[in-house]
Amino acid sequence: MSAESGRRSRGPRVRPKAAAPTDRPGAGRPPEDALRAAVEAAGLGLFEQDRGSGGLVLDARARLLMALTPDASADDAALLAGIHPEDRARVADALARARDPAGPGLLDVEYRTDGAERWLAARGRRLEDGRLAGAIEDVTARRRAEERSRLLSRATSDAIRDWDLAGGHVAWNEALGTAYGYRPDAVAPTAAWWIAQIHPGDRTRVEASLREAIEGGGEFWSDEYRFRRADGSYADVLDRGSVIRDARGRAARMIGVMLDISARKRAEERQQLLTGELQHRVKNTLALVQAIASQTLRNTTDIDSTREVFAARLISLGRAHDILTQSSWTAAPVADVVAGALGVHRDAGSPRIHVGGPDVLLGAKSALSLALVLHELATNAAKYGALSGEAGHVEVRWNVVEGEGQGAGQGPARFRLTWSEHDGPAVVPPARKGFGSRLIERSFAAETGGSVSLTYDRAGLRCRLEAPLGPVEDPPQ
């Protein structure tokens, strides 16, 4: 045995290791026909840059998408000619940057075709040899769906929220800024930001209802709460959400629509207030009618005349109600109350009742009591006073008196109305005061905390009603 052979025989003989299947050239990659089938199934067209000409080589699908015949040139000029004029410069710039050796070597651009408008997406990368290769895809359906979604989002005043439940990311439409005043840079794209804007008094309840909908397998969620606007005020909102689940039933996304219902809430509150006020007014009116009926019918001996008196008083009360109803029972102008109470006694051809005074608003109770007082005064004047003859007339004047008795301009302002009869028969105090006289003396004073004085002057009856202006305008409930 030679020395060389002896040296080779020393130690165990080691055979070369066989290459693992994944180490072999092409191993682990799908066969070319499988790749082609996948590309065709995805509707992709392929392109690559020709080494010699620098133009793009397109497969049949890419030519179809770009409306190029099989034998048409595919150089840059031909490609750009088939692109919408408004997008050509942008696509040319994207191609130049993708081919630039100093650039990132990536192509990602979406554009419209010329003629029959379609949207195409071209995506590719620069290869090691400097050539550009990639794929073209028809994205018309997606772009139109996005446009519809965008238009719908802009058309509504509702704030629409897309919540990625896995990542916590939240995207809003423009209505969040329009309806609630938030600038885009002031809105964090997180669920935590949204929850933080919920009123502290509502937050725990809303979070609990959200968890129940998401973790409990529900598809829909709805709640009402107060949402903070950018200016710090709160809006009442109705929030409705749809939970989108994956194939295993796990919640993946939630699309929410937040509607500002502040105006509706205020209207409901006002309606409740008006309903309560109406109930209060009806009870008071019924009590007043009952009192008028009881006093009118007391000790009566003439049913027919009593019926007329009672009906006239109710008519006067009804006119005052009509005036107050026009202002939702908040206040009524003195001039309207006077005109309504004295309407049946005023002769349009030759007025015998002259009225005048500044604009003063009366609260509901003051207006009703004043209407009844004026009705009684006019009825008595027609029976016994200045309006019972041909020559008599009545002056009704009112004004606001500032701070009498405490120095000029001092003290609370007072409302004063005077009734003065002229050129009628001589009047004398009645031997017995009936309900009408008692109503005149007590009704207005009781409702306003004021006073009423009657003077039976031989020249004509004088009546002065006076009360602090505050209770007259807004009497305590």
For the domain spanning 36-142, the CATH number is: 3.30.450.20
- Give the least confident one: 9-13, 102-106, 162-166, 355-359: 9-13
The highest-level CATH class for domain 302-473 is alpha beta
Residue 303 tokens, joined: 């049913």
Same fold? 36-142, 302-473: no
pLDDT in tens, 216-263: 988 999 999 999 999 999 999 999 999 999 988 999 999 999 999 999
pLDDT in tens, 165-177: 988 899 998 889 9
Tell the CATH superfamily of the 157-260 domain.
Answer: PAS domain (3.30.450.20)
pLDDT of residue 476: 43
pLDDT of residue 147: 76
The confidence band for 205, taking pLDDT boundaries of 50, 70 and 90, is very high
pLDDT of residue 299: 64
343 has pLDDT over 90 = no
pTM of the full structure: 0.46
The residues, any chain, with a CB within 8 Å of residue 385's CB and separated by 6 or more, are 392, 421, 424, 425, 427, 460, 461
pLDDT in tens, 116-131: 778 999 999 999 888 9
Contact 427, 456 (CB under 8 A): yes
Would you kindly state where each structural domain of the chain is located, as residue ranges?
Answer: 36-142, 157-260, 302-473
pLDDT in tens, 438-470: 777 777 888 788 899 999 888 899 999 998 887
